Amino acid sequence: MDFQGRHVMVTGGTGALGLAVTGTLLSAGAELHVPYLHAAEAERFPHRAEPRVHLSGPVDLASEAEVVRLYAGVPELWASIHLAGGFATGGIAETDRAALLRQLEMNFVSCYLCCRAAVIAMRAGGGGRIVNVAARPALEPRTGAGMSAYAASKAAVAALTEALGEELAKDGILVNAVAPSILDTPANRAALPKAKHDLWPKVEEVAATIVFLASTENRVTRGAVVPVYGRS
């Protein structure tokens, strides 16, 4: 897959999955735009000295004004990959309105605003690719028991993806999402030390699916929420 000279936005690019995605894109020649919320994220980002990486921050992706400014600084946007989000467990009795709204803002509102800004930019450029990140509970809601606010926010991302896949096809903008199960990361291993880690999908494997969906090689797939479960 050749991204030579193509500008790609990657939200959440400083996270575990983000590092795999940005590394793959850099190897393919992409010009990367990576927003961050906290300065420490930028400081530990291993690609920060790469001349084809443009870090921006702090950026609140749930702020419409800040998202508009972020995308206005990207020339000829080809792809927008939305990895940013947040996870929270808790039964409904323990999850109040504030906690629900935090999950919606972190996972759905940020995704919606970035999709909107990307579409405006891509229409001006004649097309592009958008890739969102849902989650397994978005496709299998019963697995969201004990984390219903998170599951609902990711289900909204999945619904948005399918709706936009239909809405934007005529503009040459293909919109898709991946839906991971629990990813094999050091943090997840520490949280679940007795789990069968070898069954979890690896971040590099999920990144490969994301990068394909964002590439020119993807000519026909739109409105899909692709399960990336590994063997879990």
Q: What is the CATH number of the domain that holds 90?
A: 3.40.50.720
In a domain, 139, yes or no: yes
The parent domain of residue 169 ranges over 7-228
Report if residue 1 sits inside a domain: no
Domain assignment of residue 71, yes or no:
yes
Q: Structurally, how many domains does the chain consist of?
A: 1
Task: Indicate whether 14 belongs to any domain.
Answer: yes
Q: Is residue 26 part of a domain?
A: yes
pLDDT in tens, the chain (232 residues): 899 999 999 999 999 999 999 999 999 999 999 999 999 999 999 999 999 999 999 999 999 999 999 999 999 999 999 999 999 999 999 999 999 999 999 999 999 999 999 999 999 999 999 999 999 999 999 999 999 999 999 999 999 999 999 999 999 999 999 999 999 899 999 989 999 999 999 999 999 999 999 999 999 999 999 999 998 8
pTM (two decimals): 0.96
Query: In the numeric block, which tokens belong to residue 182?
Result: 């629990």
In a domain, 2, yes or no: no
Q: Which residues are catalytic?
A: 150
